[in-house]
Structure 1
Amino acid sequence: MNFIDRDLKCVNCGVEFVFTAGEQEFFRARGFTNTPKSCRECRSKKNHRPMRADSKVTCADCGSATTVPFTPRQHRPVYCRACFSEHRSEAESPVCTAI
């Protein structure tokens, strides 16, 4: 099937954009049946994820400086990667309750 460039209007910003023949072929190959409703700029704004905030902390077990991908709470201990793995493996080990 031959595709031709089509002019579409963005529903978000109202700017006209070209839905190229190559993009149409790509859409057809991926099984997409609808034409895009947003221009490339609006799609990229919509798909943008905020950067995560790394926090510098001191490990509660070994005292080494490390970074974590969240803001720690004051009442909860924060561990480095190695100590966190140790705590996780301890928590997952089965506990014998038979007497």
Structure 2
Amino acid sequence: MVYADKTLTCKDCGATFVFTQGEQEFYASKGLMNEPSRCPDCRRARRAAQNGSSYSNSGPREMYEVTCDSCGRVARVPFQPKGNRPVYCSDCYRQQRESRSSGYGY
């Protein structure tokens, strides 16, 4: 398909911007069907705002101290254990995952 530069209008700031032939080819190669609705500056600002505030609404994550069911060391985990499943420190958890995956031929 042959592409030609298009002039589009940003839905955030109302400025016009060019959706270049190269950008259109890139979008097509990634399977993207819709044209960009924001200018590059507004896209950049939106992306920065999303990346900078991904955890700002929820605050810091609460951590819980537990005793590792494998080695007995104290570990901090981001969930409150319910007691019905074993809880491991990060080293033992990694070993458990590796031993499980090696048993399946991975």
Query: Smaller-chain TM-score range?
Result: 0.5 to 0.7
For residue 92 of structure 1, report the CA deviation from its aligned partner.
1.6
Superposition TM-score, scaled by structure 1 size: 0.54
User: C-alpha distance in 2, partners of 1:87/1:30?
Assistant: 46
Whether 2:88 is the aligned partner of 1:92: answer yes
- The whole-number CA distance in structure 2 between the counterparts of 1:7 and 1:14 is 12
1:2-30 CA-partner distances (Å, limit 9, x unpaired): 10000000000000000000000000000
Q: Which amino acid aligns with 2:16?
A: E
Question: Which residue is 1:15 aligned to?
Answer: 15
Number of the residue aligned with 1:50: 52
> What is the TM-score when the length of structure 2 is the normalising length?
0.51
Q: What are the ranges of 5 or more consecutive residues in structure 1 without an aligned counterpart?
A: 52-69, 77-85, 94-99
Mapped partners of 1:22, 1:11: distance in 2? 22
Larger radius of gyration: 1
- Aligned residue in 2 for 1:59: none
* AA of the residue aligned to 1:50: G
Q: How does 1:20-31 map to 2 (within 5 A)?
A: 20-31=20-31
Looking at structure 2, the residues matched to 87 and 27 of structure 1 have their Cα atoms a distance apart, in angstroms, of 49
> Could you tell me the percent identity over the aligned residues?
34
- What is the CA distance between 1:87 and its match in structure 2? 2.5
